[in-house]
């Protein structure tokens, strides 16, 4: 599929069937994340993948933003130490978060290509998730991506128009 059609096709899917996601598909999603751009190519992030229902339920209990019943959950974590060691405070506080957001988008686009639904989730208790998963202090959960086969695909929420979004276009080219 063409990139733009995948971009437009991707929806935040929150309700899923019970069908499990095959391991090779989950690995493909991780590959998609790995091929995301990364500031300084540092990739100061790690992913925790949960597939067991009871594990997902535990995270859900401390994550108001998980609305449905994902069959798999990816927890995208910033490696704050690695980010700080390589790029200082900006790396730790800004770049690592940007990297994770882009990696999450790659995961969601690849999920769409594979016929999976996905939803990026930020509304969750970061400290509680870190504790639950027994993560080291320097590993900070920043985004969740819920995954599964869509029960249904939601309608597209409206978008702002290009005219509304571009506030200034300094045009070039021969026809100006």
Ligand X SMILES: Cc1cc2nc3c(=O)[nH]c(=O)nc-3n(C[C@H](O)[C@H](O)[C@H](O)COP(=O)(O)O)c2cc1C
Which residues of the shown chain bind ligand X in the complex (CB under 6 A)? 11-12, 14, 65, 67, 119-123, 157
Residue labelled with tokens 């019943």: 69
In the complex, what is the shortest distance from the CB of residue 11 to ligand X, in angstroms, rounded to a whole number? Answer: 4
- Which CB atom, from 52 or from 122, has the smaller least distance to ligand X? 122
- Which CB atom, from 26 or from 119, has the smaller least distance to ligand X? 119
In the complex, what is the shortest distance from the CB of residue 62 to ligand X, in angstroms, rounded to a whole number? Answer: 12
Contacts of 149 by beta carbon, 8 Å cutoff, 6+ apart: 16, 17, 19, 21, 71, 115, 116, 117
CA–CA separation, 149 and 152 (whole Å): 9
Closest residue to ligand X: CB criterion:
65
CA atoms 108, 82, 50, 30: torsion sign: positive
In the complex, what is the shortest distance from the CB of residue 134 to ligand X, in angstroms, rounded to a whole number? Answer: 23
- Which CB atom, from 86 or from 146, has the smaller least distance to ligand X? 146
CA–CA separation, 113 and 67 (whole Å): 23
- Which CB atom, from 86 or from 99, has the smaller least distance to ligand X? 99
First to last CA, the chain: 35
In the complex, what is the shortest distance from the CB of residue 96 to ligand X, in angstroms, rounded to a whole number? Answer: 15
* Element holding 32 (H helix, E strand): helix 23-34
- Which CB atom, from 43 or from 124, has the smaller least distance to ligand X? 124
Cβ pair 150, 13 in contact under 8 A = yes
In the complex, what is the shortest distance from the CB of residue 141 to ligand X, in angstroms, rounded to a whole number? Answer: 13
């Amino acid at each position: 599929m063409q990139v733009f059609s995948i971009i437009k096709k991707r929806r935040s899917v929150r309700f899923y069937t019970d069908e499990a996601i095959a391991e090779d598909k989950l690995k493909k999603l991780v590959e998609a994340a790995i091929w995301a751009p990364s500031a300084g190519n540092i990739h100061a992030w790690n992913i925790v993948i949960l597939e067991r229902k009871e594990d997902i339920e535990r995270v859900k209990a401390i994550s108001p933003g998980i609305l449905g019943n994902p069959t798999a959950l990816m927890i995208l974590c910033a490696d704050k130490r690695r980010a700080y060691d390589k790029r200082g405070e900006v790396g730790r506080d800004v770049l690592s978060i940007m990297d994770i957001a882009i990696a999450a988008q790659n995961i969601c686009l690849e999920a769409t290509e594979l016929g999976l639904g996905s939803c990026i989730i930020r509304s969750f208790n970061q400290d509680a998730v870190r504790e639950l998963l027994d993560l080291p202090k320097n590993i900070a959960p920043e985004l969740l991506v819920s995954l599964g086969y869509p029960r249904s695909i939601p309608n597209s929420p409206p978008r702002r128009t290009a005219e509304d979004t571009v506030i200034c276009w300094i045009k070039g080219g021969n026809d100006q």
